[in-house]
Amino acid sequence: MIRLQTLRVRGVRGIVDGPDLNIEKGGVILCGDNATGKSSYIDAIEKVLTNRCSSLDDGGRGTSWSKQGSHINCADSEIDLTIFDGNKDVSINLNTDISTLEKQTQGFLEAARQQSFVLRRRTLLDFINAAPRQRYLAIEYFLNLEEYGAFENQLKEMLKDVDTQLSIAESDKTQNERTLKEKLKLKYNEGISDKRCLDTVNLTLNVAGIELLETLENVSNRVQKVEALLVPFKDIGILQKVQALADYVKQIPDIQNLRQTANQYLLACEEIIAEESRLKGHFYVQVLETGFTWITEDGLERCPLCDNPINIADVKAHVDARIAKHEQFIELKKQQAEAHKAFLNALEQHKHENIERQWREAFDSEVPEQFKTTINHVASLLKLHRAPISTGEIRRSIQDFPEEYYLQGIQILRDEINLKLASFPDSTRYAQLYQAKSQLVATSFHLQQIANVTDLINHLKICQGHIKILVDIAEKGRKNAVQKLLDTVVEVANGYFQQIHPKEGIGSPKLEVPKRGSGSIELISQFHTEIGDPRGHYSEGHIDSLGLCLFLAIRRIHYTQRPELSLLVLDDVMHSVDANHRRDTANLIFREFSDHQIIITTHDPLWFEYLKSASQKSKHKFTQHRIAHWTLEHGPVWGDHLANYEWLISDNGITAKPSDLVIKAGILLEEMLQNLCNNLGISVPFRIRGDYTIGPLWDSFFVAVKKNEEFYDNTKLCLEKIEELKNLRNWVGAHWNEWAQTLTQNEALAFTGAVLQLQNHTYCNECSQFIVRISELDGVWACAQECKRYNKKQKKATAQGSKQTLGWQELAAMGIPAGQQISRLISMLQDEQKAGRITTRVQAEEFVRKQQALRNKTS
């Protein structure tokens, strides 16, 4: 079975560069305040295993791994996950090509990508709060119905095809009916039938004098007959063109109009000349009016030309007088302009712009020469008279117009057109025959088309009905299967739920797939006598529990589907559940999922303790970490006692400054006291802020431990040393002052040694836990497997904690260097005592001296 082993993370979400997460066989329990990077580890695990991150990639929020996956100060993300495949370590990162991995690892990663193993609080609430359709979509990803879904979709695609074909066929039928109605001149809303078509066609045949049809079967025979009668009309296209030309020629206006307008124009021009002669000089009324406007608007007081003074009123009177004197001239000018326009319009009507082309098309020859010469003359006249010319030129051009020649040309056109029209057969007859043929052909063709397409429509409708049935069956089949799965999910979920909330009258959840609609899931649950939406009656805690149990049930079923993935990740899912139920939940998780590797994060220190306690019952060890704090620059920092303990006994601890030693040892002592007061049931003064620091904890602890004789006997020395030096932590860490600067190495070592000794007496590495009070054994203090055990009443010296034990100070006093060497010797002494080889202090000192001599010899 594949297990996660080590997670190295760089530049991901809230993590800058580690710390690395070593994952024990049982899993990880991680505790930290909000926004300290817990979920960043979960995101990294999910991303590297599934190539997606549900907290970012679920869409709809505008977030994605590509945008927010990296730490905001890091350009690149690195995730290296080492897994153990049962035989060897396998390293996976964001660039790993799955196909290059061994089959077992491939199966593990494929299962991770298909199934649910990560639950976040947001996912949990989303599922409960989602609309039924959204709930189905949320769970659809994990239903593993791809193959069946493909089958169902194929049927649906086929139904879509049929719908499209049916729509096209019906449109085709409508188009054929519309065209046939137009040909037969039937009303738009009239129905099409063989009889109606036959009657209509017979009416047309009757008009054309052709034998009527008895049935529509003889249509082709009648078409042949009509076509034979139409043979003489083969040039009917030309006839239409000649007819159009004849119509045009008929409408050529009388030449009298042209003559009249030309004379009027000439007369107007002559009258202007005569009036000008009378007035002796040209007169421009517009110049007068415009000049006066300029003078008025500019308010000129002197003439710009002669510099004489100007009186506006005098100027206006002078202008008005001049215009009055020329009123007759002005009127004549208007008449001349109108006469000019009328003359040009008359000339336009004799221009015959398109007649040459029309003639060519109808007669296949050029228009007669005489007519052509005349229309060229009209075109040149138009060009001449559009520009201003003298009255003499106007007169000459009018006199030169070849009126008689033009009229003869028009007559030639008429004669030739009439001659051509006479050469064609009767056009009325042609119209009758043409309509008869058109209706016969249309009736035959479109009725056949309508019959064909009607047949097709009937077939498609049958197919549509059957495919609809198959789609319906496919949907029902899927829903039935999903419902069976959901029934099992809720049965399993309720089993879990009742373990957390036994005899509370709630639970029995139901996930129902409604029969209508393509896919949705209704969630209902029992609340005493009521059954309905759990949000209606459940508390927040109950809803949290219900969501968690449903997820755990799905995980359990998925594990059956793909046993290669035995991983359960719960990211801070318990928010509103009270302490007792949280304890039950912790027990449930470790009991029911003992076949899984479990990774749990929480912000709640109490649940962290419950989880640690519950994990003791597991056959596997768990990594336990507490995140002390988080900064943007450094990311999360481990703050749990083991990390501090490891640091104190490491080379870093040995060479550290006295103040740093005291600070670390103080943090370790504080957490130890929190755990021990909790585990041993020691009453401490209540603090509403929940900040249980060394001060209040130590006083209570120091009083309480004296009541356990065996424990006190074993720890008296270190307890008294801590009592003596405990304020160092406060002075150095919280209230840095001059005194703290004088802190000596010996004082720091003495305090640190005492704290480490207390850790050795109270924390069991085998059980990964501090000692707890076991009420059933008359208040015995012990770890889970009683590796460390202290009786309330002293009976006899025990192997682990006897007076023969040499502590930190004694070993330091014997000249042993602080740090790892002392820890190693304490551990070796304990082993010797356990084995019964050391029973006195003298033997212990002898053993230490021998070990040192051996070490000195080796080095």
Q: What is the binding site for other proteins (CB under 8 A)?
A: 143-148, 150-151, 154-155, 158, 161-162, 165, 452, 455-456, 459, 462-463, 465-467, 469-470, 473-474, 476-478, 480-482, 484-485, 488, 491-492, 495, 556-557, 560-561, 592
Cβ at position 557, least distance to other proteins in Å: 5
Cβ at position 159, least distance to other proteins in Å: 10
The distance from CA 389 to its chain's CA centroid, rounded to whole angstroms, is 79
Which of 196, 459 has the CB closer to other proteins? 459
**CA–CA separation, 57 and 445 (whole Å):** 60
Alpha-carbon separation of residue 117 from 48, 94, 106, 129, 389 (angstroms)? 14, 19, 17, 20, 102
Cβ at position 516, least distance to other proteins in Å: 16
Structure tokens belonging to residue 595: 């076949």
Say if residues 430 and 229 touch (Cβ distance below 8 Å): no
> What is 178-230 written as a DSSP string?
HHHHHHHT--TTPPP-HHHHHHHHHHHHHHTT-PPPSSGGGHHHHHHHHHHHT
**Half-sphere CA count of 627, side-chain side, radius 13 A:** 31
Cβ at position 140, least distance to other proteins in Å: 11
Which of 490, 848 has the CB closer to other proteins? 490
Cβ at position 584, least distance to other proteins in Å: 17
If you compute the radius of gyration of the chain from its CA atoms, what whole number of angstroms results? 55
Which of 71, 446 has the CB closer to other proteins? 446
Cβ at position 838, least distance to other proteins in Å: 49
**CA–CA separation, 382 and 780 (whole Å):** 131
Cβ at position 476, least distance to other proteins in Å: 6
Which of 465, 505 has the CB closer to other proteins? 465
> Among residues 569, 564, 586, 568, which one has the least CA distance to residue 577?
586
Cβ at position 488, least distance to other proteins in Å: 5
Cβ at position 170, least distance to other proteins in Å: 15
Which of 95, 560 has the CB closer to other proteins? 560
**CA–CA separation, 47 and 116 (whole Å):** 13
Cβ at position 543, least distance to other proteins in Å: 24
For 568, the enclosing helix (H) or strand (E) is strand 567-571
Which of 144, 809 has the CB closer to other proteins? 144
Q: Are strands 21-22 and 3-12 parallel, antiparallel or unpaired?
A: antiparallel
Say if residues 181 and 446 touch (Cβ distance below 8 Å): no
Structure tokens belonging to residue 597: 């590797």
Which of 325, 484 has the CB closer to other proteins? 484
Say if residues 600 and 623 touch (Cβ distance below 8 Å): no
Which of 491, 578 has the CB closer to other proteins? 491
DSSP state of 707: T
Cβ at position 144, least distance to other proteins in Å: 5
Which of 465, 817 has the CB closer to other proteins? 465
Which of 9, 552 has the CB closer to other proteins? 552
Which of 341, 466 has the CB closer to other proteins? 466
> Among residues 580, 630, 618, 557, which one has the least CA distance to residue 785?
618
Which of 469, 854 has the CB closer to other proteins? 469
Cross-sheet strand order for the sheet of 789-790: 772-774, 780-782, 789-790
Cβ at position 193, least distance to other proteins in Å: 22
**CA–CA separation, 42 and 47 (whole Å):** 8
- What is the SS3 string spanning 367-379? CCHHHHHHHHHHH
Say if residues 70 and 77 touch (Cβ distance below 8 Å): yes
Q: Burial level of 180, CB count in 10 A (0-12/13-18/19+)?
A: buried
Cβ at position 85, least distance to other proteins in Å: 23
The distance from CA 634 to its chain's CA centroid, rounded to whole angstroms, is 32
**CA–CA separation, 712 and 801 (whole Å):** 10
Say if residues 264 and 291 touch (Cβ distance below 8 Å): no
Which of 491, 522 has the CB closer to other proteins? 491
